[in-house]
Amino acid sequence: MRIVVTGASGNAGTALLRRLRRERGLDLVGVARRPPGPDAGEPYDGLTWHPCDVGAPGAAARLAEVFAGADAVVHLAWQIQPSHDQRVLRRTNVDGSRAVVDAVLRARVPALVYASSVGAYAPGPKDHPVSERWPATGVPGSSYSRDKADVEALLDGVERQHPGLRVVRMRPGLIFQRDAGTEITRYFLGPLAPVRLLRYGRLPLVPTHRRLRMQAVHADDVADAYARAVLGDARGAFNLAADPVLTPELVARHFHGWTVPVAAPLLRGAAAMTWRARLQPVDAGWVELALNAPLMSSERAEAELGWQPGTDALAALRDLFAGMAYGGHTGSPPMSAAPDRPGRPAALLRARPPGHTNPY
């Protein structure tokens, strides 16, 4: 069975390669803007790699050649940074996804598994979980959510026009693993965040708000759901989240911190101000997403995929914090610990502030 994975060198892609390499009889192909080098090690070695920028002109034709003969394509390629250049993000996230879909159709691949997100959903409840029927129309004010929702709308049209194509949409919560510690710090916190304090297992202050209730899932559990979808015959959307729901109070209790109530306008304002000042790499849209993304039920994944998370959300968060504190990374470009990458302290010396230049 030939499986092609776009964005195979990132957070979810790395975990998926680990998971699929446990299966026999699979021919795995990776697609990345910058493929891992020959010395990258596991799980990147032993694959056939193709360099391709999915958002570049002519990408669909190039991808159709790579996809030829594939039994399934898993589309994980996505950009979070540079946040100060929304044109670049849209080019990869929406235009690139369109190129992947076009290539899948040209190459007559029978199955497409797409990395959607809780971020695709419209604002929803924080006191009970929603099913996959909740509208996937995005959270206003979040460019990440808008792009995820636009790709979902694209897939709606593809399913109507090409009912023979098996389309699966995975909608996980926050995806954590130790190896992503450096990557997540670069993309979401920037070079000034004192992440080494996490070595003591403490978060001194945790901002609280009644709607700051989020769900997480370990990357290895997300990878298992993807593998089940690729190797099975499932269709449609699947929520992926582990218990418990991560509340500020729960996080503060487990990491020996104090909770500090903060009003939503102050959260938005602080994010916007520090982002504009190039002190950290994420804009206020991420605050909107955190406050408005609904809680999800994973009952469908459990029933139809036979999926169960093996790691609870708190353990997944601990794993991530350990990676952030001790520089968890891999040998792929997006997961690298190279000191001069955007979002790391040495990059500031080269006039590469957070949220600028392409880190992929």
- The per-residue pLDDT for range 296-332, each reduced to its tens digit, is 999 999 999 999 999 999 999 999 999 999 999 999 9
Let me know if residue 250 belongs to a domain.
no
What pLDDT score was predicted for residue 359? 66
CATH number at residue 229: 3.40.50.720
Kindly report the backbone phi and psi dihedral angles of residue 72, in degrees, each rounded to the nearest multiple of 5, phi listed first: -160, 150
Residues 6+ apart with CB under 8 A from 22: none
Q: ∠ CA 187-190-192 to the nearest 5 degrees?
A: 165
Q: Which domain holds residue 108?
A: 2-174+216-242
Residues 189 and 196: their CA atoms lie apart, in Å, by 13
Average pLDDT of every residue of the chain:
95
Kindly report the backbone phi and psi dihedral angles of residue 348, in degrees, each rounded to the nearest multiple of 5, phi listed first: -65, -35
pLDDT higher than 90, residue 202:
no
Query: What band does 360 get if pLDDT is binned at 50, 70 and 90?
Result: low
Let me know if residue 83 belongs to a domain.
yes
pLDDT higher than 70, residue 348:
no
Let me know if residue 226 belongs to a domain.
yes
Kindly report the backbone phi and psi dihedral angles of residue 198, in degrees, each rounded to the nearest multiple of 5, phi listed first: -65, -15
pLDDT higher than 70, residue 244:
yes
Let me know if residue 165 belongs to a domain.
yes
Residue pair 323/178 in contact by the 8 Å Cβ criterion = yes
Let me know if residue 68 belongs to a domain.
yes
pLDDT higher than 70, residue 176:
yes
pLDDT higher than 90, residue 174:
yes
Average pLDDT rounded to a whole number, residues 111-125: 98
Residues of the chain above pLDDT 90, percent? 90
Point out the least confidently predicted range of 94-108, 158-172, 192-206.
192-206
Average pLDDT rounded to a whole number, residues 107-123: 98
DSSP E strand boundaries for the chain: 2-6, 27-32, 48-51, 72-75, 111-115, 166-172, 174-176, 205-208, 214-218, 236-240, 242-246, 258-261
Let me know if residue 74 belongs to a domain.
yes
What pLDDT score was predicted for residue 280? 94
164-193 exposure pattern, b = at least 16 Cβ within 10 A, e = fewer? ebbbbbbbbbbbbbbbbbbbbbbbbbbbeb
What pLDDT score was predicted for residue 275? 96
pLDDT higher than 90, residue 358:
no
Query: What band does 350 get if pLDDT is binned at 50, 70 and 90?
Result: low
What pLDDT score was predicted for residue 354? 80
Express each pLDDT in 19-38 by its tens digit.
999 999 999 999 999 999 99
pLDDT higher than 90, residue 334:
yes
Let me know if residue 103 belongs to a domain.
yes
What pLDDT score was predicted for residue 201? 86
Let me know if residue 35 belongs to a domain.
yes
What pLDDT score was predicted for residue 351? 58
Express each pLDDT in 177-186 by its tens digit.
999 999 999 9
Q: Domain total for the chain?
A: 1
Strand 174-176 relative to strand 166-172: parallel, antiparallel, unpaired?
unpaired
Q: What is the DSSP string of 288-303?
A: HHHHHPPPB--HHIII
Residues 272 and 340: their CA atoms lie apart, in Å, by 25
Query: What band does 276 get if pLDDT is binned at 50, 70 and 90?
Result: very high
Residues 38 and 266: their CA atoms lie apart, in Å, by 47
